[in-house]
Amino acid sequence: MPDVWDDRKKALEEEYFRKKDQEALERLRARRGAAEAEKSLPRCPKCDGSLIEVSHEGVQIDRCNKCHGIWLDAGELETLTKDEARGGWLNRLWRS
């Protein structure tokens, strides 16, 4: 009779550790996927961080995730400053 309980105890223990191993593998895969996704992003010219696209005033600009620098593509500065005669964001920045 004690062998039956020992076998059951061992089976439950093996199942527990199998689940823990599976959870650990899933966490590692998620981390690896995030690291690979970050590697595919463009690099910051200043600090070698990753440039992430954010929307500002309806324009997609690039922002570094490390130094928080802002990088503009061709034509983006003109798009952001075309409404300056009516008191756009750049005028508000220089008045403060």
For the stretch 15-56, pLDDT in tens is: 999 999 999 999 998 888 776 766 667 888 888 788 888 887
Read off the pTM.
0.47
8 A C-beta contact, residue 90 and residue 81? yes
Q: How far is CA 39 from the centre of its chain?
A: 11
Provide CB contacts within 8 A for 49, sequence distance 6+. 43, 64, 65, 66, 67
Q: What is the dihedral of CA 25, 30, 32, 38, to 10 degrees?
A: -170
73-96: pLDDT as tens digits: 888 878 877 765 556 666 666 654
Q: What angle do CA 57, 70, 41 make, to 5 degrees?
A: 105
* pLDDT at residue 14 greater than cutoff 70: yes
